[in-house]
Amino acid sequence: MNILVTGSAGFIGYHVTKRLLDDGHHVVGLDNLNDYYSVKLKKDRLKETGIDLQQKTNSKEAIESNVSENYIFYQAELGKREEIESIFENHSFDVVINLAAQAGVRFSLKNPHAYIESNINGFLHILEGCRNSEVDHLIYASSSSVYGDSKDTPFKTSHSVDRPVSLYAASKISNELMAYTYSHLYDIPSTGLRFFTVYGPWGRPDMAYFKFADLMKSGKPIDIYNNGDMYRDFTYIDDIVESIIRLIPKPPSNDNQPPEHVFNIGHGDPVKLMDFIHILEDNMGIEAQKNFKPMQPGDVPRTWADTEDLFKYINFRPDVSFEQGIEEFVKWYDEKWA
């Protein structure tokens, strides 16, 4: 297949792109390589998939592309309409996997405009590209953040999501509504994925497990919010990738009107924050210095995914335990990052 992956230098996008290339697909990737977190990490991920930006020659074109075997990479802005239109005009895609977004709950409190530009305007440009090029299947990233601080657990896709507690969450709810509308108007088969705290090797340094590892390694204290009374449904990256790969050939049927689905992707087994810290300490061989603090604005005390619908649809359930996943992350961290 010919597949577009947006956010292909990001955490999930990198792993999905690598798996698609390993499976023999032709991939076009795009990423803006912004400095929300380490640009070097993003470039290192690209290098793992055959794109070495250090060897890039200057180009007079508006969008610069870099090519390796079966992979074309564009450094482009999702929020810039002309750039996205150009990519869709120059390529024919069977599937579009939209993983590009401005991430982070707390960052949305400081820089809200970035979320509208990337997550709202940018997603509109993707939808328009799919509409004008008759893509067979659009798969896009949503988030467990859409459930807000709901006490009704485990979270089910049938639950109401009209009470977001961060602009990031509001932008993801908007994506789901936009995809539904385009599916209804233009019969675009679309699948939205509500990711639950994805972690693992090559992850995002702003995520708690990665940030804690950095602080512990440097002998600095970690901040523990809500006095440690927090639970997260951690989902290992390989389980996320396997789910996406199985979804690619299963677009919603036109028997569905509109042809759209939204699924939770989570492990289904929330881990208490203090247990998570102890597991990380055991694997790193370091005892963390701990600062206990109250809940932060925009944060939620618990996430917990009901994944029965996804399991019935693709016959797969995330099964990597948190203990296994953290062990793999620490191995990568010690070898590639520390």
Catalytically active residues, by annotation: 168
Residue ranges of alpha helices (H) inside 111-236 are 112-115, 122-133, 167-186, 208-217
Euclidean distance between CA atoms 113 and 116, whole angstroms: 5
| Beta-sheet pairing, 95-98 with 2-6 | parallel
Angular region, 152: left φ>0, alpha ψ -120 to 50, beta rest: beta
Q: Is the bond preceding 258 in cis, omega lying within 30 degrees of 0?
A: yes
Euclidean distance between CA atoms 41 and 205, whole angstroms: 9
The residue count for the chain: 338
Identify the DSSP state of 143. E
Cα distances (Å, whole numbers) of residue 85 to 17, 73, 81, 129, 204: 21, 15, 6, 6, 29
And the tokens for 232? 């997260």
Q: ∠ CA 99-100-106 to the nearest 5 degrees?
A: 105
